[in-house]
Structure 1
């Protein structure tokens, strides 16, 4: 079976062996294959259309070997930098605002993974009944503890990785995840290869959410979700909602995001 599609600057030519996509009838096979190819074509067309809208960005430097938790952290010109990585920048404020609004709907106890610049923490404060923050880097965790002394909502700061800390915790009404890879191996897996950066966290998050609980996370998705992403969500959650925050302004030297929008997901157990 062969399927061919012609785009403005690229041709898609898919040749299937006879034993590939073996359905009860040939009609079903044609339907399934054409649908898959058309999704690929649409994704390529969208990538072509979006290409000219990206900011220049800069090349990401390799993450230095060593324990991420003990690396020096610095904040300069609205950028949190750890181990040569731009971990967070203040252009994310509109994105953080919408994400925190969603995770705090209904109030309750909110868990935040990754303190960063404290943008989301400051927005969560006062919008829920209790607030727990997990932060791996010791200097950022110290900044979080200083911040928590003036917080309106009763707040607990826990230092360590979410992988180590989460099994010791109970359930939450909302979980907000915005963490950063601690080495190049993790970066390759969660940013480059996984359907979304939080995919490996989905099952654990679902296990720590109350019956009315919801997960919100940094998606790395421009304006929708891929089918891979949706399937990963539905393996752990009963439903999810998607919206798009537009008008983002990452600077030309941003090395982790280049678009003016990002999809926000709220997933429910």
Structure 2
């Protein structure tokens, strides 16, 4: 399944932004440094098979490519974003684009050594509450939990998982070691989805 929800452009400050079909800010340029820190935490090696969930504004994908992994698989479900992802793949070696949601496509894939997770619940695929990217869980189950239930089945021994995490949540899983570090982020004044001055960099290592 793919959607046509996202719109890519510039905000009133002239900075890159991704909007949802409802006009909600999905990703903004201020996130670039934070995304890069999350990717760096994966300690990607040239022999690694990397899985990325969500192409967004290509910040994480571009950082992943600086490590020249053996393979780089990107799952993306938005049609506008897919067009940009395919152009990115054409310009880089070893990048494969998988169209669809991770819920549909990940079970069809093989093993990975590094996984980067930045999922946004598009309105077209959601019902009920207005969608947001992950914050803290407040004791509730989150999309991170749902993702790990599937992703860990596709992680090789020693694999590392990281991604967007606004607030602390319990990511512990049997057979895994979890480390979380807090980093300062320079959030744009016009950002309406991230009210914090810090974000978290999680690393879940499969032992």
TM-score of the alignment, normalized to the shorter chain, above 0.5: yes
C-alpha change, 1:171 and 1:104, in structure 2 (3 Å) is same
1:264 aligns with 2:204: no
The runs of 5 or more residues in structure 1 that have no matched partner are 1-66
Indicate which of 145, 150, 160 corresponds to 1:204: 150
C-alpha change, 1:196 and 1:72, in structure 2 (3 Å) is closer
Would you say how many aligned residue pairs link Structure 1 and Structure 2? 193
Q: What secondary structure does 2:104 align onto?
A: helix
What's 1:82 paired with?
20
What's 1:240 paired with?
178
What's 1:173 paired with?
113
1:141 aligns with 2:62: no
8 Å CA contact 1:219, 1:264 repeated in 2: yes
C-alpha change, 1:237 and 1:189, in structure 2 (3 Å) is farther
Instruction: Flag the structure with more relative contact order, 1 or 2, with Cα contacts below 8 A and sequence separation at least 6.
Output: 2
The Cα offsets for residues 144-187 of structure 1, whole Å up to 9 and x where unpaired, read as 10111112x41001110000000100110011000111235363
What's 2:161 paired with?
215
8 Å CA contact 1:109, 1:173 repeated in 2: yes
**1:88, CA displacement in angstroms?**
0.6
Larger relative helix fraction: 1
Larger radius of gyration: 1
1:185 aligns with 2:128: yes
Q: What secondary structure does 2:27 align onto?
A: strand
Indicate which of 132, 140, 144 corresponds to 2:73: 132
C-alpha change, 1:165 and 1:178, in structure 2 (3 Å) is same
Q: What secondary structure does 1:176 align onto?
A: strand
TM-score normalised by structure 1 residue count: 0.66
8 Å CA contact 1:206, 1:237 repeated in 2: no
C-alpha change, 1:163 and 1:236, in structure 2 (3 Å) is farther
Q: What secondary structure does 2:128 align onto?
A: helix
The Cα offsets for residues 185-223 of structure 1, whole Å up to 9 and x where unpaired, read as 3638965753554121111111110001111021111xx
What's 1:13 paired with?
none
TM-score normalised by structure 2 residue count: 0.84
8 Å CA contact 1:191, 1:197 repeated in 2: no
C-alpha change, 1:72 and 1:211, in structure 2 (3 Å) is closer
Alpha-carbon separation, structure 1, partners of 2:175 and 2:74:
23
TM-align CA RMSD: 2.3
What's 1:102 paired with?
41
Indicate which of 87, 96, 114 corresponds to 2:54: 114
Indicate which of 134, 155, 162 corresponds to 2:95: 155
**1:244, CA displacement in angstroms?**
1.6
C-alpha change, 1:101 and 1:189, in structure 2 (3 Å) is closer
**1:235, CA displacement in angstroms?**
3.0
C-alpha change, 1:185 and 1:208, in structure 2 (3 Å) is farther
